[in-house]
Structure formats: structure tokens, C-alpha cells
A and B are shown apart, each in its own frame.
Chain A
């Protein structure tokens, strides 16, 4: 009953005209940037984050969340219409979705994706409302040792799911931590690694790094293969699914929602993992007449439901434990911090309006996507035919304005240039930037909790394995690392044997 009341409180917040407006703006902008190939949700959010700072905390978070699922949905749209997944989590959607479009069923594929996403979003929102408060209560038991171990687990999870090799991803985490430590030491007020720059004493702004690595870096990379996307959008035809389509999408949507909700909860999980797992499982349980890869509606319904459910439930670790599960959540984390709200177990009790407002707004935002974006698909596809050479100068300008508006400091622009260059180099060297962002964000907190825990235990590091919750978290981290390392070891061996 209490949950219902709290949900109503959230509904009050979410339906305030100002929040509705910014939710709409967020969804719209997110979709707009999301349909542009090359810029995924993380880049979109990084570019737009500085402009949300002036808003009220609830409003800015609602807008950020809107940008997130807008971008996600935009990615699915291009995956279906052009076989160009705007982001990794819609890669699987492109397999059957594009085939459906080629078969003249683009409209049905798009509405299937929208319906699946909406249903999954609704279920995931309810799950979030039901389980988040109790998880937060567990979080209240956490001391410094538990937090340190939790962050280790979060970092390891981001490493395990990163593209490329394990040592590279670990190295990227370490770089992120070190960059995060630049600035004044919290405990002793000693400046660290500032090279004498006054502007660095408050640390490197996380948003500038994210904008540089994701936004500028990806932009330069896209410029190198100019106009490679000459694909012509398939005509939409009818948007309305037939009775048979509806019957066939029920099972996949339910399964996708279940799998997605579950995988989104895991640290390191989220939309990407959810979509891949759902597609793989769907392949085993259903047997569509076209076969998977031949334009099966199941192959669209299931991963699209799963990635939306996963996107939604991945808010749970962030809002209850203060642990961002992936790069996108890291950006949400950054947005919270800049609003002066510390994400963690006390968030629900200290800021119930923020927590419940954001939760309900997720549902509202999904509704907006369904109602508003379907009629707008024509505009989105026309946008794709706009040459990239007109788009990227505008993106650069927005990044520059965003960077300077953060702290009204030109120094942030020099940092943006440096991290833009770094983002490009990392992409060239096949190093995923997501672990770096996670390290940057979690590094300083890790250090602080590490030092506090060591102080409490009088200098005895056994505290991290002595306390049960901490030990379990560390064990999870080690196990996931070993599981990923094992096949790598064997594949390296295979290579050696072949010589």
C-alpha cells in the first residue's frame, strides 16, 4: 500500500507541467541525436548533460532519463530502417528488423519495437518501485569496506563487458582512476598531479572527459569514413501489426522483459547484455516460419523489450547503492552529483521526490516515445539523409558550449580538446573508453573508502574479507574475472599450438 502512495507521489512529480515539458524535450533530443549514426546513448547524454545543470534536480534527472531512452529508441529506428544500429544494444535488432523492412514490413517492425519497449518499460518500472527500497535498506548496512568491495565489483564488471582484451580494459580502468585522483586530496588538502595548474585543483570535470572521449572521439572517427552510409531507407508501409503479428509478439515480449529486467540489475549489466541474451534465448524457444535472420517478428520483439527493461532496471544499483552499472549510468551518476545529490542508500529516504519522480517519469517517458515518436518516424528518417558534413560542426559547437557552460571556465575547453584527442587515439588502438569513465567516477570514492576502512581496522587489510558482505562482493568480482579470463587463456594457448 505504501508503495502505491509513493508511486502517486512520484506521479505528482512526473506530471508537473515543467517536468513533462523537459521529459518531452529530453525524449525528443535523445531520439534526434540517437538516430544520427555514430553517436550512441552515452555520447548523446555526455553532449547534452551540461545543458541540464541549470534545471531543478528532479527535472534535470527526468530530462537525462528521457534523453537516454530517446537515444535508445533512436538507435533501434536506424537499426530497423537502415541496418545501422545507432548503438550496440540494437545490433541484434538490426538482424531481423532490417530484414522485415526489406520485406516491406518496416512499419510493423517499428511498432513492434515500440510496443515491446513500452510493455517492458512498464513492468521494469513496477519492479523498480517494488524492490529498490529494500535493496537500499541493505545498502544502509554498508560500511567503508563494503563500499570499497562494491566498487571493485562494479569496475571488474565494466572490464568484463568491455570490448577488446581484458588487460587493455583493466589498464583503461586504471587510467580512469588516476585521472579521477587529479586535484586536491580530500583528506589532507594536498594538490595531486596538478602540474601546478590552479584550474586542476578541483579535479578534472567528469563531463568534459565523457564528452571528449565519447563525443569528439567518435566524431573524428566517423569523419574518417565519410558518407559510408548511403543506405536508402525502406518505405514504411503500414504501421499496424496484424492479428497474427500481435499473437506472435506476446511470448517474445514477455520473455524479453523477464530476461532484461533480471540482467539489468547486475553490475555491469544493462541494455546491451539484455538484448543479446534475449535474442539468443528467443532463438532456442521459438521457431518462426521465416526463421531467425529472415525477418522474424520475434527477433525484433524480444531484444527490443529486453534492452528497454534492462535499461530501466539498471537504475536500481545506481539509485539504491550508488553504484553505476555501466557508462550510461555513470553519466546519470555525474548528473546527480552535479545537482548536489549523493547517489546511495539514503537517496530514497532523503529525496523521495527525486527517486519516485524519476521512476514514474520513466514510465511517462516511455509513453511519450510510443505516442509521439511513431508519428514522427518520417521526420527521423529524413534527418538521416542529411549529410554528415553539415551535422558535425554543430555537434562540435554544442560540445564546446557545453564544456564552457559547466564551470564558466575556458580551461575546460583545453581539457575537452585533450580528451577528444585521447578518445580518438583509444578508438584507433582498439581500447574501449567505457571502463575509463567508470574508473574516473569510482576511483576517488574507492580511495576514500579504502583509506577509511584501513583506518577503522587499524591498518589491517583483512577487514575486506572479514566482513561477510564485503567478502561476497569481492568473491563475485574475482569469479567473474576468472570466468572471462579462462577462455582467453585457452584461446591464447590454441594460437600458440598452431604455430
Chain B
């Protein structure tokens, strides 16, 4: 196997994987008849289409002679950004919007250089305050500014 992994091969495999998952899932649902089409038939049809396209993309990736340089992926940055959303979700109910915004923007800031600790804390606090005023006071969002974790 001398073939290098390129974008098409990965994309093709990904499409095949997703298609197979949905196809397997649709087998658990009734297909119905031509006249009364059940909930499983249409998804199965689309999943087959997806697998077929995945195969086409995969094969064209294998055939392509163009050496595609392996795309550089910054795993840490991706991880930090995704983590900041999840942290927001974990905090917002219990800790309130202010803390959630502070943590979300602070963690997100870790993905870029230079990272200025004090500046980013202040920035997060200011952002949290603005968001609290605009979204909770202004637009009536039903999330506490300071959550039940702090006994309020």
C-alpha cells in the first residue's frame, strides 16, 4: 500500500461510515408498502445514496496521483474551541450566565498567542456583564445571571 491518505479518501470513508450507520438504523423501522411508505424506507434510500457517493469519492481519491500534502491540523486549537462550548453548557444552568461567559471566553482565548491572563479575565468579565444586560435584562432570556451554585 503505497497510497497516501488524502482528503478524498478520508471523506469517502467518512461518507460510507455515516451512510452505513443510518442504513443499519433504518432497518429497525418498518418499510411499509409502495402505497403506504413506512418511516424506514426513505432514510434507507438516502443512506444507500450516501454510501454510493462515498464509494465514488473514495475511489477517485485512490486514483488521484496528485500528492496532496497532509493538511496540517491544529488538534489543540480545535479541542480548546470545542471545549469552551461544552464548558459553557456545563456551567450556564448552575453557575449562571456571567460565570459561563467568563469561562467560555477565557478557555477560547487559550487557542491564540500571545495569551494575556489578566487581560482575558477582565475581557471575559466585561463580556459577561454586557451579555447579561443585553440578553437577560434586554431580551428576557430565562437564564440566571448568577446561578444557584452561589446560593442565590
Q: Which residues on A are within 8 Å of B, measured CB to CB?
A: 51, 54, 165, 167-168, 170-171, 174-175, 177-178, 181, 185, 187-188, 190, 192-193, 216, 219-220, 223-224, 226, 388-390, 392-394, 396-397, 399-401, 404-405, 408, 410, 413-414, 416-417, 420-421, 424-425, 428-431, 443, 447, 450-451, 454-455, 458-461, 492, 495, 499
- Indicate whether A393 sits within 8 Å of B104 (C-beta atoms), given known contacts A174-B50, A428-B7, A447-B42: yes
- Indicate whether A219 sits within 8 Å of B43 (C-beta atoms), given known contacts A175-B15, A193-B25, A392-B108: no
Query: Which chain B positions have C-beta within 8 A of A451?
Result: 36-37, 42
Tell me, in angstroms, the Cα distance from A216 to B111 when the chains sit together: 13
Tell me, in angstroms, the Cα distance from A400 to B11 when the chains sit together: 28
Tell me, in angstroms, the Cα distance from A192 to B7 when the chains sit together: 31
Q: Do the beta carbons of A168 and B53 come within 8 Å of each other?
A: yes
Chain B residue at minimal CB-CB distance from A396: B108
Chain A residue at minimal CB-CB distance from B105: A393
- Indicate whether A421 sits within 8 Å of B53 (C-beta atoms), given known contacts A389-B109, A393-B109, A459-B33: no
Picked from A389, A392, A424, A429, the residue with its CB within 8 Å of the CB of B78 is: A424
Picked from B19, B38, B85, B120, the residue with its CB within 8 Å of the CB of A420 is: B85
- Indicate whether A54 sits within 8 Å of B104 (C-beta atoms), given known contacts A165-B60, A410-B92, A499-B65: no
Chain B residue at minimal CB-CB distance from A399: B85
Query: Which chain A positions have C-beta within 8 A of B25?
Result: 192-193
The contact string, 1 if C-beta is below 8 Å from chain A, for chain B 4-21, is: 000110110011001100
If over half of A's interface residues share one DSSP class (helix, strand or loop), that class is named, otherwise mixed; here it is helix
Tell me, in angstroms, the Cα distance from A392 to B127 when the chains sit together: 12
- How many A-B pairs have beta carbons closer than 8 Å: the answer is 186
Q: Do the beta carbons of A226 and B113 come within 8 Å of each other?
A: yes
Not counting A397-B101, A410-B89, a sample of 15 additional A-B residue pairs whose C-beta atoms are within 8 angstroms of each other reads: A167-B56, A178-B47, A178-B50, A192-B25, A388-B112, A389-B109, A389-B113, A393-B127, A394-B105, A404-B143, A405-B135, A410-B93, A421-B82, A451-B37, A499-B65
A1 to chain B, nearest CB (A): 42
Q: Do the beta carbons of A168 and B57 come within 8 Å of each other?
A: yes
B26 to chain A, nearest CB (A): 8
Tell me, in angstroms, the Cα distance from A170 to B51 when the chains sit together: 11
Q: Do the beta carbons of B131 and A397 come within 8 Å of each other?
A: yes
A-B contact pairs, 28 of them (CB 8 A): A168-B11, A174-B15, A174-B19, A174-B50, A177-B46, A181-B42, A181-B43, A187-B39, A188-B38, A188-B39, A190-B30, A190-B39, A192-B25, A224-B74, A389-B112, A393-B84, A394-B127, A400-B100, A405-B139, A405-B143, A408-B143, A413-B86, A430-B7, A450-B37, A455-B37, A460-B34, A461-B34, A499-B65
Tell me, in angstroms, the Cα distance from A51 to B139 when the chains sit together: 8
B82 to chain A, nearest CB (A): 5
Q: Do the beta carbons of B81 and A216 come within 8 Å of each other?
A: yes
Q: Do the beta carbons of B53 and A167 come within 8 Å of each other?
A: yes
A413 to chain B, nearest CB (A): 3
- Indicate whether A185 sits within 8 Å of B53 (C-beta atoms), given known contacts A190-B29, A401-B141: no
Q: Do the beta carbons of A429 and B7 come within 8 Å of each other?
A: yes
Q: Do the beta carbons of B123 and A413 come within 8 Å of each other?
A: no
- Indicate whether A428 sits within 8 Å of B112 (C-beta atoms), given known contacts A171-B15, A178-B18, A178-B50: no
Tell me, in angstroms, the Cα distance from A319 to B94 when the chains sit together: 42
Query: Which chain A positions have C-beta within 8 A of B50?
Result: 171, 174-175, 178
Chain A residue at minimal CB-CB distance from B101: A397
Q: Do the beta carbons of B77 and A223 come within 8 Å of each other?
A: yes
Query: Which chain B positions have C-beta within 8 A of A458?
Result: 35
B103 to chain A, nearest CB (A): 10
Q: Do the beta carbons of A417 and B85 come within 8 Å of each other?
A: yes
- Indicate whether A192 sits within 8 Å of B29 (C-beta atoms), given known contacts A223-B77, A416-B85: yes
Query: Which chain A positions have C-beta within 8 A of B14?
Result: 425, 429
Query: Which chain A positions have C-beta within 8 A of B42?
Result: 181, 447, 450-451
Q: Do the beta carbons of A216 and B49 come within 8 Å of each other?
A: no
B9 to chain A, nearest CB (A): 10
Q: Do the beta carbons of A400 and B112 come within 8 Å of each other?
A: no
- Indicate whether A393 sits within 8 Å of B7 (C-beta atoms), given known contacts A181-B42, A220-B81: no
Query: Which chain A positions have C-beta within 8 A of B49?
Result: 170, 174
Query: Which chain A positions have C-beta within 8 A of B26?
Result: 192-193
Tell me, in angstroms, the Cα distance from A219 to B108 when the chains sit together: 11
A479 to chain B, nearest CB (A): 20
- Indicate whether A454 sits within 8 Å of B37 (C-beta atoms), given known contacts A165-B57, A181-B43: yes
Query: Which chain B positions have C-beta within 8 A of A165?
Result: 8, 57, 60
Q: Do the beta carbons of A393 and B123 come within 8 Å of each other?
A: yes
B8 to chain A, nearest CB (A): 8
Chain B residue at minimal CB-CB distance from A430: B7
Picked from A54, A178, A188, A417, the residue with its CB within 8 Å of the CB of B43 is: A178
Q: Which residues 119-152 in B have Cβ within 8 Å of A in the complex?
A: 120, 123-124, 127, 131, 135, 139-143
